Amino acid sequence: MRVTIFGASGLLGKALLREWSGDTLTGLSSRDADIRDAKRVRQVVRETRPEWIVLAAAYTNVDGCESNPDLAFAVNRDGAVNVATAAKEVGARLVLLSSDYVFDGKKNTPYETGDRRNPQSVYGRTKAEAEIKLLELMPDCCVARTSWLFGIGGKCFPDTILNLSAGRPALDVVNDQRGCPTYAVDLAHAIAQLCRKNTSGIVHVTNAGDCTWFEFAQEIVGSAGLATTVRPVSSQQMARPAPRPTYSVLSPVRLRALGIEMPSWRDALRRYLEQRQLTI
């Protein structure tokens, strides 16, 4: 199977290129093909002749999206349409990486794939609109929603906590936002399986279990054997430009129906910490 990956220099893109085996992969960074450039996107898709495209390229700075909405929509929505249009022209299938931010966070039970989108941030709106447009343009495309992504080779929450812990005796971390941490390695393996299973429609892909950011930070510090104290605070105390969903746990029902099981986030964190030690 020939697979073209847009966003190959990002956290997930790097994991996809490292972990995916048995198929022919082409990884494209924004330097190779800016997805805002429809002509260039069509060109690289025709050249690589993929059977599947994984669209992992995105503007993911949630707070940056609030201050740069035009850029956010140009990349996350319009860029996604450019890739889908090119995919359709050559008969390729497509996986769009989407986000828990398409929901408002007002539930207290896991979000199902068919729950109503109601994004509260610019980033969330860009992803929600991309989902809608791509499912209209390519009804057989796959939308893989994920959350709280972490991994080797880029900025992520565990890396930030570990770096801050090296210089501080205590850290304040929000304890009123709950979601599902997701290890890029496990997400990469799941995406490969989705392609091999010719999956269409919306799928939620996260590691098993959920936690708050405070609980995640506690586990990171404890598992790393650090003495840093982690203190719970409210989102109001740690105000950010973009609103975050209070509850954005994603239901694995559809993923399990496809025969794909994800390890627990604690197991994923352990493996991440082991891999991080090898790269320091």
Q: Which residues are catalytic?
A: 123
* Three-state SS letters, 150-203: ECCCCCCHHHHHHHHHCCCCEEEEECCCEECCEEHHHHHHHHHHHHHCCCCEEE
Burial string for 155-183 (b: 16+ CB within 10 Å, else e) reads ebbbbebbeebeeeeebbbbbbbbbbbbb
Bridge-based pairing state of the strands 52-55 and 93-99? parallel
Place of tokens 């409210």: 234
- How far from 234 is each of 88, 172, 174, 209, 214, CA to CA, in Å? 45, 9, 5, 22, 10
